[in-house]
Copies of this chain bind each other. A is one copy, B any other.
Amino acid sequence: MSVVTREDLLEWDRNDPLGPMRAQFRIPAGTIYLDGNSLGPMPRTTPERVAKAVEEEWGEDLIRSWNKHGWIELPQRCGAKIADLIGAAAHEVVVADSTSVNLFKLLAAALRLRPDRRVILSDTGNFPTDLYVAQGLIELLDKGHELRLVEPEKALEAIDDSVALVMLTQTDYRSGRRHNMAEITSKAHGVGALVLWDLAHSAGAFPVDLRGAKADFAVGCGYKYLNGGPGAPAFLFVAEQHQNQVRPPLSGWMGHEAPFQFDRDYRPAAGISRNLCGTPAILSMTALDAGLDILQKAGMTAIREKSVRMTELFIELMETHCADFGFELFSPRDPEIRGSQVSFRHQQGYPIMAALIEQDVIGDFRAPDILRFGFTPLYLRYGDIWDAVQILRDIMTEGSWDQPKFHKRQAVT
């Protein structure tokens, strides 16, 4: 077993090339934040960026800021920054709306490209809102489409020529298990199906290669690993070859070829911009833009390298120092198929997580019994991981999680 010590890890931190990035984030004193996969923390540049958008751009330049400060192209500018992180071309990504709304747009668009097929294939581990959105679209279309759910491990083999669209979240939100994007996409294309990837727990967590995998469509979230702030706008990707075939179901003026001509008939803009709908939420998008700049500086290769080292370390420490407390690894042991999070199952997962949070070690709980820990190399230190495991060990040793206050059920986002 491990002979690593706290001192070793402090040494790792001193030698960490990403170490200086931590200063770019506000992490409350004493907090070990293992929930950046749910809501990334605030970059230190964000308050000033947002204040400038509010006070200078909106406050001083008013309506003129749509041109003067480039608000009108902010969705494309942010999209190009995200494209860098996910292996897409700059003109293949745009920021808009929420992940759920973007998913609806691309699901509907994809089904139209396969009018003779009726199956959306997904897996039982998909994030629920993805399934809900598909269910809502199917009910709306009322054309006998089917949402076919299989166990995640069966997704590849379930792809056949009845499938119009494979809709998967690449990284399982509970376990962190990663689908093989290239293999699944390739098999789908082989039988004439399209593929839509939800990158909510991928973008900014590790390098994604949409172009390499020849992915058709993707959506993703702005407020997790991209550190864009609560409810930050989401993004969507449409591969170049599909862009002018896509008919946006949410055909709003910002996706019109000439929004300010005020024509009565909708004509989609060329390229990715047709997937915009209403007026973009500039203040929230400005915060996202600030988060993206930091990721661009750090680079995804360095992030991934540290992420693997951190998740490996956490598993090792848990299995060394918390071996006796009934935790069961829920994430894949192989880092190759694991995102940037590690989850453990425990029958008393809910009160244990509540006790951890009380000690300022912030992870989260997912029903029925999953303790979920996100590892975000930009602001997390190896020493934090050591301390988190020790605090958990103390909680388990003392049984302090087993207090009534930790058993109260409450919303955990």
Chain A contact residues, CB within 8 Å of chain B: 26, 28, 31, 33, 35, 38-39, 41-42, 46-47, 50-51, 53-55, 57-60, 62-67, 71-72, 97-101, 104, 108, 124, 128-129, 131-133, 135-137, 139-143, 149, 223, 229-234, 247-254, 256, 259-266, 277-285, 287, 357, 362, 364, 366-367, 410-413
Contacts and interface: CB of A to CB of B under 8 A. Distances in A.
A242 to B, nearest CB: 17
In order of increasing CB-CB distance, the 7 nearest A-B pairs are: A98-B278, A136-B251, A100-B252, A100-B278, A129-B253, A230-B282, A132-B266
A124 B264 contact: yes
B66 A411 contact: yes
A59 B42 contact: yes
Given A247-B139, A249-B137, A128 B71 contact: no
Nearest to A131: B264
Contacts of A261: 367
Contacts of A31: 62
A169 B189 CA distance: 45
B253 A132 contact: yes
Contact of A67 (B41, B53, B54, B410): B410
Contacts of A223: 279
A52 B253 CA distance: 33
A362 B42 contact: no
A400 B362 CA distance: 63
A190 B283 CA distance: 44
Contacts of A47: 51, 54-55, 59
18 contacts: A26-B60, A33-B62, A39-B58, A42-B54, A50-B51, A50-B54, A64-B362, A72-B413, A97-B97, A101-B252, A133-B250, A137-B249, A139-B249, A139-B251, A140-B247, A229-B283, A259-B411, A262-B367
Contacts of A38: 63
A232 B71 CA distance: 13
Residue of A59, A67, A411 with highest tally of chain B CB at under 10 A: A59
A256 B140 contact: no
Nearest to A49: B54
Contacts of A101: 97, 101, 250, 252, 277-278
A278 B236 CA distance: 14
B250 A411 contact: no
A164 to B, nearest CB: 15
Given A63-B413, A100-B250, A283-B283, 6 more contacts: A41-B59, A98-B278, A135-B251, A140-B247, A230-B283, A231-B283
A132 B231 contact: no
A255 B315 CA distance: 36
User: Which one of A57, A64, A277 has the highest number of Cβ atoms from chain B below 10 Å of its Cβ?
Assistant: A277
A362 B101 CA distance: 34
A287 B283 contact: yes
B128 A256 contact: yes
Contacts of A247: 136, 139-140
Given A231-B279, A283-B283, A413-B72, A252 B132 contact: yes
A264 B253 CA distance: 34
Contacts of A136: 247-251, 266
A47 to B, nearest CB: 5
A29 to B, nearest CB: 10
A46 B50 CA distance: 11
A63 B50 contact: no
A283 B133 contact: no
A62 B39 contact: yes
Contacts of A233: 281
